Amino acid sequence: MTSNEAFEKVKQGSLAHSLIKLGRLVNEQGIQNARQLFGLPKLSLAHLELFPHIDFCGTTVGEIAKRKGVSKQAVSKLVGQMIDMDILYMSDAEDDKRKKLVHFYTEGPRAIQMGFKALESVDEGLKEIIKSEEYELLLALLNQLLARFQEWDQI
């Protein structure tokens, strides 16, 4: 067995590697579906990664950068692109007119529902690949793993 074959065998025997690879592929498919569903051909993972850091009542670029752990310059560039795509807009903060708040154009729960439409289409594709019973079992097992990892994260 060559070293390349041994390496491939190790990768194929690793649940963690398979989950990471599958997660990346599902993520890419979800982004592609979101681009088509919302007519946003320039939407990228970098844009989507900002979403959880933006409060529905508005968040400053500096606060988004702090939450995400990146520079304000990087966030400013992405926010500007998302403003151009009509995903976000900026407004003056009520308490300090010098501060600008970043907001979603679509309000709170509606924005989340729209995002889940893209995920639902990925789920439908997964259901076409594996049987319904296997899908439900896999989903239950992954939810158990997620719950356990989230417990560890809080320790």
Per-residue pLDDT tens digits for 76-120: 999 999 999 988 999 998 888 889 999 988 765 566 677 777 788
For residue 63, pLDDT over 80 is answered with yes
Per-residue pLDDT tens digits for 25-58: 988 888 898 888 888 899 998 998 898 899 888 9
For residue 1, tell me if it sits in a domain.
no
What is the per-residue pLDDT for 39? Answer: 86
70 shares a domain with 59: yes
How many independent structural domains does the chain possess? 2
Last residue of a domain, one of 105, 128, 147: 105
Full residue range of the structural domain in which residue 113 is found: 16-42+107-155
Last residue of a domain, one of 81, 105, 129: 105
Compute and round to an integer the Cα radius of gyration of the chain: 19
Segment holding 103, helix H or strand E: strand 100-104
What is the per-residue pLDDT for 61? Answer: 97
What is the per-residue pLDDT for 112? Answer: 64
Taking the complete model, does pTM exceed 0.85, yes or no? no
Distance (Å, whole) CA 99 – CA 92: 6
